[in-house]
Amino acid sequence: MEYGVAVLLLLWLLFSAVNQLPLEKITSLLRRVDYFHLIPRWHFFAPKPAVFDFHFAVRLFASEGQIARDWKVISEVPRRTARAALWNPARRVRKLRADAVLSLLRTAHSLDEDSQRLAVISLPYLLLLNHACDRSRGENATLIQFAVLTADGFAADGAPNVIVRSEVHAIDA
Amino acid sequence: MLEGAFRPAFTLSAVALSFAVLTTTLEFFFLRNEFERGVFSWRVLQTFSLQAHSPLTLRLRDAMFGRHGMAAILGVRLLSAAGLCVGALLFDRVTCMCALAGVFTTSLLLSYRCRIGLEGADIMAIIVAAGLFVSVVRFSPGIWTTMGFGFIASQTCLSYFTAGTAKLFSSQWRDGSAVYKIANTETYGSEGAALFFRRSPLLSFAASWTIILFEMTFPLALVAPSAVALAIIILGIMFHAVNAAFMGLNGFLWAFVATYPAVWYCHLLIGAFLGR
């Protein structure tokens, strides 16, 4: 039994090591079969560090072409307090939103120009759309559009950049 | 020597892991609305593999990851975390094994459900739970302890070395601007830290290289003299404490600190092997 467990742990370690290497074909295959996120990728803030903030904005329509509420940022980052060193659930939502945006950009990048519209049925797009609908619950609107912007943070030199602008969708009841 | 080292190493690691699991579970409870209809909504997340499952499996998944299923998973996880803490302090093997099995299984279920938005600390918690479970199959130093702690220590060294090497290949980390730029974001930084590093680019440069060198040399903790190994481990605890305090990365503190007893145990094991 010891040998069986040893082989399992060694395989786990081996796949983990391989997943750190710049071997896109192999690592994407590992990601596809890793349903339980057992194979880590330990590239914290590297090689491209997170040097900007993602902001998430939503616009609501009363009907087609008639704006009910113009663009409004719904992802303000509250000032972090000392408590965040022990208790910080908000980072989970921010992390998912950021991962969804990056995943959506990768998906869009992988599609050719004629297939770009398929990105709207991708998981990250649906997650962001659902997030926009959830945050706009109770508003008097029938259609919704979201956008993702990047900004430089505290010492921002320029205006925020729009990197994603969704199509207009019916709000889920 | 190893006989005496195993018990405190296991207890410290298990208690730190239980804190990590307790914190993440309570945070998930706090975000229950996000899980029901918000950004972690199962209704959306389940779409990643709808076609790959039979209707029966889909119904089972819905029951498991819907509102009540999630509450049950988090409840078991909470009990497992508490059980692990108590079991480790009392050094009760059966309690520890049951609790670790609970932590491992619920971690896998949460990983499967969430698909996206998980962090490195979540995977490290799974690794520590698996390693501790193996180490506790026999409650005395031997092959099982070596396999369990060796696995945790290897993954820890791999994580730091990879993170350091990836930073070494980044021009923004090499020229020192990365630390300032990260501190300047609202997500991970603070206005005070951003101002501090903007006014002192030399300190930003020094901080960048300190992080790169610390991460790349972390595996030396296994083979270096004990004083050096201890210094590396203390530096690691400080590193994660600073990240938790200034960047809000609280999950990493407990999950990574939970690996250090295994690193120390393997340091002693290698020392004994080398006749040090």
| pLDDT tens, position by position, B240-269 | 999 999 999 999 999 999 999 999 999 999
Here the ipTM equals 0.93
pLDDT at B51: 67
Domain segments of chain B as ranges: 2-274
pLDDT at B50: 63
CB spacing of A82 vs B170 below 8 angstroms: no
pLDDT at A158: 72
Helix (H, G, I), strand (E, B) or coil at A144: strand
* B47 CB burial (10 A radius; 0-12, 13-18, 19+): middle
Helix (H, G, I), strand (E, B) or coil at A140: coil
CB spacing of A51 vs B185 below 8 angstroms: yes
Query: Which of these, A113, A100, A121, lies nearest to A169 by C-alpha position?
Result: A121
Chain A's closest residue to B180, CA to CA, is A51
Report the distance separating Cα B219 and Cα B237, nearest Å.
15
B236, pLDDT greater than 90: yes
B181 and chain A: CB distance < 8 Å anywhere?
yes
For residues A51 and B185, the answer to whether their CB atoms sit within 8 Å is yes
For residues B264 and B156, the answer to whether their CB atoms sit within 8 Å is no
pLDDT at B37: 87
pLDDT at A6: 95
* Tokens 């619950």 belong to residue: A137
A172, pLDDT greater than 80: no
CA-to-CA separations, B95 to A83, A93, B179, B198, in angstroms, rounded: 32, 33, 43, 51
Mean pLDDT (whole number) for B1-10 = 83
What is the number of CB-based contacts under 8 A between chain A and chain B?
199
B172 and chain A: CB distance < 8 Å anywhere?
yes
pLDDT band (50, 70, 90) for residue B30: very high
B95, pLDDT greater than 80: yes
pLDDT at B137: 86
* B128 CB burial (10 A radius; 0-12, 13-18, 19+): buried
pLDDT at B251: 93
CB spacing of A46 vs B167 below 8 angstroms: yes
Pick the range with the lowest mean pLDDT from A74-88, A123-137, A140-154, B209-223.
A74-88
CB spacing of A5 vs B38 below 8 angstroms: no
pLDDT at A173: 54
Backbone φ and ψ for A166, nearest 5 degrees, come out as -75, 170
Task: Indicate the length of chain A as a whole number.
Answer: 173
Report the distance separating Cα A154 and Cα B253, nearest Å.
26
Mean pLDDT (whole number) for A90-99 = 90
Q: Tens digits of per-residue pLDDT, A27-63?
A: 989 988 898 999 999 988 888 888 888 999 999 999 8
pLDDT at B120: 94
B270 and chain A: CB distance < 8 Å anywhere?
no
Beta-carbon contacts of A70 under 8 Å, excluding residues fewer than 6 positions away, are A59
pLDDT at A2: 84
Chain A's closest residue to B198, CA to CA, is A155
A88 and chain B: CB distance < 8 Å anywhere?
yes
Domain segments of chain A as ranges: 1-46, 53-170
| DSSP 8-state code for residue A78 | P
Q: Tens digits of per-residue pLDDT, A111-155?
A: 887 777 888 889 999 999 999 999 888 888 899 999 999 988 887
Top-ranked range on mean pLDDT: pick from A148-157, B177-186, B217-226: B217-226
CB spacing of A100 vs B245 below 8 angstroms: no
Distance from CA of A168 to the nearest CA of B (A): 18
Both tokens of residue B11? 């207890």
pLDDT at A113: 77
pLDDT at B1: 58
**Cβ-based contacts of A13 with chain B (< 8 Å):** 151, 154-155, 158
